[in-house]
Amino acid sequence: MKKLLLTITFICSTIIGFAQNNTQYPEGLKVGDVAPNFLVKDQNGIQIDLKKILKKQEVVLVFYRGQWCPYCNQQLKKISDSLSLITAKGATVMAITPETG
């Protein structure tokens, strides 16, 4: 019985390891990278077109994982504290989150 459990554990570990090694994730944006154009709806259901906004002003794009993330909350607070400096430079801040409410 012990041998069977060890064999099953080994097989499962091998399969999981193989699956993880073959998984390819897209590389994320880095500081200074140009974001691809996108169309999204804001919290009020209004369509946002990044390309149109960029014609008028610079955009500081922030990815906010959610309310549950203490690091994201700290980052958003720091950006909020600097909002007047950002807007004085002619830019706007856009926070993108998977949260809906």
Catalytic-role residue among 54, 62, 72, 93: 72
The single residue listed with the structure tokens 């999204």 is 40
Which uninterrupted H or E stretch holds 91? strand 91-96
- 25: which 2 tokens? 């994730």
- Mark whether 12 is an active-site residue: no
Q: What whole-number distance in Å separates Cα of residue 41 and Cα of residue 96?
A: 10
The single residue listed with the structure tokens 């069977």 is 4
Question: Distances in Å between the alpha carbon of 101 and those of 19, 44, 76, 94?
Answer: 34, 11, 17, 16
Q: Which residues are catalytic, by number?
A: 72
